[in-house]
Chains A and B, each alone.
Chain A
Amino acid sequence: MESRDKILELIKQNQPEAKSLPAVTINSVISFEDNYQQFKTVLESIGGKVELVDSIDAVKDIFLAETSSGKMVISTIPTFGEIDQKLSSYTAPQLEVLERAYLQATLGVAENGSVWLYESQMVNRLLPFICQHLVLVINKNAIVPTMHHAYQKIDVARDGFGVFLAGPSKTADIEQSLVIGAHGARTTTIFIVGS
């Protein structure tokens, strides 16, 4: 406890006099004519794939067809079928061979092409990261213009973990050459349900 009290005491002595917190006014930020179009444009520019579908059943059909491929494919979307009871306790060695994961996301953000995923939508925190290919589903009317709008809609502390995820894993650490597929998913496809 010694260092804790010492640090807090020094901070108390040295911190400047109180300054007020600025109000962040959401109505003064950028807006888009078509949130979906903006989301699609941005996400494609950062390596993501966007597919517009009329109904989530179209995605379910793709998932079901893939389950017979012999590769490990997992969905955590309840309407796609029963979710493996033990999925939440699967460890990295068990999930290492995961080819594709299908997850429902909460919302999309038009300005940056990211989606928000709650831990409950992943079931297992490793899922969106360890899979070779990631498939996400969001509703078209769940795309908000900016991060300000997104944080109004989510509760970051609701689950133990949550993530804004924008496109596939990438790096440019070798001579600034962009390479898709660093440690996480090599591809990220977002199915947007709506018309």
Chain B
Amino acid sequence: MKDHASLAQEFITDEPRTDWHDETLWFVRQKRDKAAHGLPEWEQLREWASGIKDHTLSNLNTYLTQFEAQAKANGIQVHWAFDGEEHNRIIYDIIRKNNIERIVKSKSMLTEECHLNHFLQSNGIEIVDTDLGERIVQFRDEAPSHIVLPAIHLKKQDVSETFHKHLNTEKGNNDPQYLTEAARIHLRDKFVASQLAITGVNFAIAETGGFVVCTNEGNADMGAHAAPIHIACMGFEKIIPKAEHLSVFLRLLARSATGQPITTYSSHFHRPRPGQEMHIVIVDNGRSKQLGRKDFRNSLKCIRCAACFNTCPVYRRSGGHSYHTAVAGPIGSILNPNLDMKANADLPFASTLCGSCSNVCPVKIDIHEQLWKWRQVIVAEGYSPKAKTISMKIMSMVLARPAVYRFSGMMARKMMRLVPGLFKNKLNPWYKQREMPEAPKDSFREWYLKNKK
């Protein structure tokens, strides 16, 4: 499997597109700043959100039990899934039991994490993703590259070609208005005919046994209110204690994500409508393990706003697919090593540790510190690349011995002057897109000894 660096290398071969990607996400970050600066209490809100989540994580057992009891009393059927496979199996069983053929799904990163679409497809069941960006990438048989903006890696020409192929739109018509209208008409038919709607959950309220789903397009609502059965899937960390806490999170979520004051629809589900069946699947899939990792547990505070993606200098220039996981970006890089440390050992290194992610995080997750801590865990567990481990060991041996250090420095300076080709070649990663420095005659130490008077 290719790692982040090699996938990023593929992404950046198209330079104008890389620049566009970088600038577009930075523009979203600037919109976030403008929204945040519009509220004098912004830092206070972050503090509250962080505190509410910390408190909730420390009482998760109680709140989940309370939520389950309330939701059941509300007439919602509650399921628990230990891992992604069980989550998929629960949904599959509901589909089979009701002989369902037509399914719509609004955005849910959890179902991406569990590879639900793939699982159902291999069992002969088709799901229609209804978020516009997700529908685009689904047509293209790709994964979303961003948790809020799933098709941000594509240009309108790509969408136009995709829709021409799948929706028979005019060839070469790249007008976003026209393309969106085509998707609207296509997906309306799917909503109206659907037998099952699957949605994610943004927040689940322990006190009332209800849950909140946020969208701008209205696709979660179109599905959930049209279909006779609604399944909402949530990671267990989505729980919050009380409805009044929603005020804090809804004020932060859209402002952090896109700079909007609130999403168009913040839908509060508490009971199925008459004749409707409503299910909630509460998923662990590694979360209880992460909860037990003291250094990493507060990654579970994440509300999936993607502010850390938009600000990240590495994400902006490497694209979401280079992270090869359902949740990319800085937050993905601290969540995914918990799920599979070996497969995701490269991700904590896909960062400059600049700390911008932590600064914009609405729930104050110390993302860049966790990236740094994961690097240590990964090296200690032996998952770092062998060449890197060996060269680091040699480096530390050299740096710990002044005489060896001086000798190697002297040799390096000499060789750089005499045989520059040794350094200026494709095998030296430092030479990529860079000139090597001119080697000085003396080291700093030699210069200092000569000139100290």
Contact = CB atoms under 8 A, between A and B. Distances in A.
A139 interface: no
B339 to A, nearest CB: 15
Nearest to B35: A112
B192 A184 contact: no
B40 A30 contact: yes
Contact of B41 (A29, A91, A129, A179): A29
Contacts of A8: 61, 64-65
A114 interface: yes
B192 A93 contact: yes
B80 A126 contact: no
Contact of A156 (B81, B248, B270): B270
B288 A14 contact: yes
B168 interface: no
A166 B274 CA distance: 26
A121 B154 CA distance: 40
Given A14-B288, A161-B273, A96 B188 contact: yes
A172 to B, nearest CB: 8
A28 to B, nearest CB: 6
Nearest to A162: B268
B180 A30 contact: no
Contact of A183 (B64, B222, B244, B267): B222
A65 interface: no
Contacts of B133: 171, 173
Given A22-B47, A147-B250, A173-B149, A159 B80 contact: no
Interface string A89-105: 10111001000000000
Contact of A92 (B39, B136, B205, B226): B226
Nearest to A92: B226
A170 B265 CA distance: 10
Contact of B132 (A7, A30, A171): A171
Contacts of B51: 19, 21-22
Nearest to A185: B218
Given A3-B81, A157-B210, A92 B192 contact: yes
A164 B222 contact: no
Contacts of B209: 157
B256 interface: no
B269 A147 contact: no
Interface in B41-84: 41, 44, 47-48, 51-52, 54-55, 57-61, 64-65, 68, 74, 80-82
B180 A181 contact: yes
A165 B236 CA distance: 26
A5 to B, nearest CB: 9
A11 B291 contact: yes
Nearest to A20: B55
B291 A183 contact: no
B19 to A, nearest CB: 14
A183 B217 CA distance: 6
B291 A181 contact: no
A36 to B, nearest CB: 16
Contacts of B188: 96, 183
Contact of A28 (B44, B193, B268, B269): B44
A181 B133 CA distance: 15
Contacts of A79: none
A163 to B, nearest CB: 5
Nearest to A118: B268
Of B28, B260, B274, most A-chain CB atoms within 10 Å: B260
Contacts of A111: 39, 251, 261
B325 interface: no
Of all A-B residue pairs in the complex, the 7 with the closest CB atoms, nearest first, are A184-B218, A14-B292, A160-B271, A112-B261, A173-B133, A182-B217, A22-B51
Interface of B: 24, 27-28, 39-41, 44, 47-48, 51-52, 54-55, 57-61, 64-65, 68, 74, 80-82, 86, 130-133, 136, 149-152, 154-156, 159, 176-177, 179-181, 183-184, 187-188, 191-193, 205, 208-210, 216-219, 221-222, 225-226, 236, 241, 243-248, 250-251, 258, 260-274, 282, 284, 288-289, 291-292, 294, 297
